Amino acid sequence: MKFTKKSHACIRLEKDGRTLVIDPGAFSEEDAAVGADAILITHEHADHFSEDRLRAGLEANPGAEIWTLKSVADQISAAFPGRVHTVGHGDTFTAAGFDVQAHGELHAVIHPDIPRITNVGYLVDGRVFHPGDALTVPDHQVETLLLPVMAPWSKISEVIDYVREVKPQRAYDIHDALLTDLARPIYDSQIGALGGSEHVRLTPGDSAQV
């Protein structure tokens, strides 16, 4: 698969001439979902879910469809009739030729006073895992972990321990829009040295084979 990093939590996967996009949110490029044959949304927060981004993608490709959890599907099913599929933890499905397993149920705790919302991560082709906003450990070996490197709900020790627990061959940073350039070397050196897996950062728009 060809993996392309987009801004913040959005990524693109390409295989056999088809494209899967995960989490084209408001922090991502306006055309983040354009060219997608299938779109996956992990949860309802705006930095992962933008109806404008979805509309641009679905208008560009009348055959494109969306897979997401109920809280998002309830908001967009009427806008995109017949093109939205509801999934949850334990579900398996095929989207644009990619085999997908759904893992996880809840967003990470931001603060005890803030009610937790639902969140689901996606394991694609048994190899690439996007957890959304949670530190979910799938019951499956992961080759490539898309690592939420910086968020209001996490600290670097938890990020490092998450890499250790998942034990991927490599971890690519996502969820990094709030991480300043001054702090990036600190995160890179500590996660790379302590996580136990290859740690990689891509600039938005750059690609790699996974």
Give me the tens of pLDDT residue by residue for the chain, a chain 210 residues long: 999 999 999 999 999 999 999 999 999 999 999 999 999 999 999 999 999 999 999 999 999 999 999 999 999 999 999 999 999 999 999 999 999 999 999 999 999 999 999 999 999 999 999 999 999 999 999 999 999 999 999 999 999 999 999 999 999 999 999 999 999 999 999 999 999 999 999 999 999 999
Quick: pLDDT tens for 159-193: 999 999 999 999 999 999 999 999 999 999 999 99
CATH topology for 2-209 is: Metallo-beta-lactamase; Chain A (3.60.15)
pTM score, whole prediction: 0.97
The pair of structure tokens assigned to 13 is 């996967």
DSSP one-letter string for the chain: -EEEE-STT-EEEEETTEEEEE---TTS-TTTTTT-SEEEE--SSTTT--HHHHHHHHHH-TT-EEEE-HHHHHHHTTTSTT-EEE--TT-EEEETTEEEEEE--BPPPS-TTSPPPB--EEEETTTEEE--SS----SS--SEEEEE---TT--HHHHHHHHHHH--SEEEEES-TT--TTTHHHHHHHHHHHSSSEEE---TT-EEE-
